[in-house]
């Protein structure tokens, strides 16, 4: 069975879900609180989403925590986000490990403080052999950065004579894109009501189902997540085929 056929016939629950966790600032501002209050409450929604994915047996959950463009925010918001990231890494890692979760930070971590990079490395090392949910936290991540870093790896191999330019194909480049060793992205959710991708998983989203909700991230609970999954399950994914072909495949 080809990977596409397999994806169609096995389509029940998504294997890989990614979420653009947006709306923290507006959630806080609606209550007359500073934006950072929303980021802190957002951590609770992260815990709930991780728990829900574990319960459903989803293989990978990728959360957009900080984009390569978010450095443009006011300095105090950026530093609060970094502190929060540091705190959450320290406080949650043991529990994630106990729950067999494999934690990976996806993005250019070189711009983070040495201390934060150290925590990231420790957390990844501790959980690297876990076999349950793969939790990918996208931090200083950009979809364009991801494609560029893949191109850089491939160019290096060409320079070293390990590859010929004619070897470069979609498949080859795919093998250098972040999370290539995990299930392909099935469902991309964005909370907070905006209808854009904001430079998230540009390559990986090629055939993902998109789901947008007005719900602000701190309010995104198990029920809201279940609605997104139910919507995904009701969709017909055609991967370029016709509806008739899909029906035939499913009838086999
Ligand atoms: C998403 O919420 C969290 C980060 C980008 C870190 P926002 O902070 O973008 O919240 P809104 O969109 O301004 O409400
Ligand atoms: C996307 O949200 C990034 C994260 C959720 C981490 P933004 O709030 O930064 O997106 P834009 O700027 O509105 O497109
Ligand atoms: Mg936003």
Which one, of 221, 225, 217, lies nearest residue 35 by Cα? 217
The whole-chain average pLDDT of the chain stands at 95
Beta-carbon contacts of residue 237 (< 8 Å; ≥ 6 apart): 7, 8, 11, 207, 209, 246
78-94 CB burial, b ≥16 within 10 A, e <16: eebbbebbbebbeebbe
Confidence label for 56 from pLDDT (cuts 50, 70 and 90): very high
**181 catalytically annotated:** no
Q: pLDDT of 27-54, one tens digit each?
A: 999 999 999 999 999 999 999 999 999 9
CB of 85 sitting under 6 A from ligand 2: no
Q: So what's the pLDDT on residue 252?
A: 84
The structure tokens 């600032």 sit at: 25
Q: What is the pLDDT of residue 23?
A: 98
The residue with tokens 């389509």 is 11
Residue 224 CB contacts under 8 Å (≥ 6 apart), including other chains: 191, 213, 215
Protein residue whose Cα sits closest to atom 1 of ligand 2:
198
**Statement: residue 8 has pLDDT above 60:** no
SS3 240: coil
Count CB neighbours of 203 within 10 A.
18
Please report which confidence band the pLDDT of residue 107 belongs to, taking 50, 70 and 90 as the band edges: very high
Task: Provide residues with CB under 6 Å of ligand 1.
Answer: 21-26, 66, 70, 81, 192
* Ligand nearest to the backbone CA of 199: 2
130 is catalytic: no
Ligand 2 centroid from CA 243, angstroms: 35
Give the ligand 2 atom nearest the CA of 25. Answer: 8
């Amino acid at each position: 069975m080809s990977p596409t056929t397999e994806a169609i016939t096995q389509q029940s629950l998504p294997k890989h879900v990614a979420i653009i966790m947006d709306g923290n600032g507006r959630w806080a501002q609606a209550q007359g609180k500073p934006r950072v209050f929303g980021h802190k409450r957002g951590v609770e929604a992260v815990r709930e989403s991780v728990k829900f994915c574990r319960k459903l047996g989803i293989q990978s959950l990728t959360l957009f925590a900080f984009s390569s463009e978010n450095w443009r925010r006011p300095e105090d918001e950026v530093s609060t986000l970094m502190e929060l990231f540091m705190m959450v890494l320290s406080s949650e890692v043991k529990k994630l490990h106990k729950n067999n979760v494999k934690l990976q930070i996806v993005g250019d971590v070189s711009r983070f403080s040495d201390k934060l990079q150290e925590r990231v490395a420790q957390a990844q090392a501790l959980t690297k052999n876990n076999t349950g949910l793969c939790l990918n936290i996208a931090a200083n991540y950009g979809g364009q950065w991801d494609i560029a870093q893949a191109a850089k790896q491939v160019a290096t191999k060409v320079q070293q004579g390990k590859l010929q330019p004619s070897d470069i194909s979609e498949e080859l480049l795919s093998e250098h894109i972040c999370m290539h060793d995990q299930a392909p992205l099935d469902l991309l959710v964005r909370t907070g009501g905006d209808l854009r991708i904001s430079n998230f998983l540009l390559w990986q989203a090629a055939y993902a189902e998109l789901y947008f909700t007005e719900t602000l991230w701190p309010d995104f609970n198990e029920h809201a997540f279940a609605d997104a999954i139910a919507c995904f399950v009701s969709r017909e994914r055609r991967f370029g085929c016709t509806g008739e072909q899909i029906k035939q495949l499913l009838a086999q």
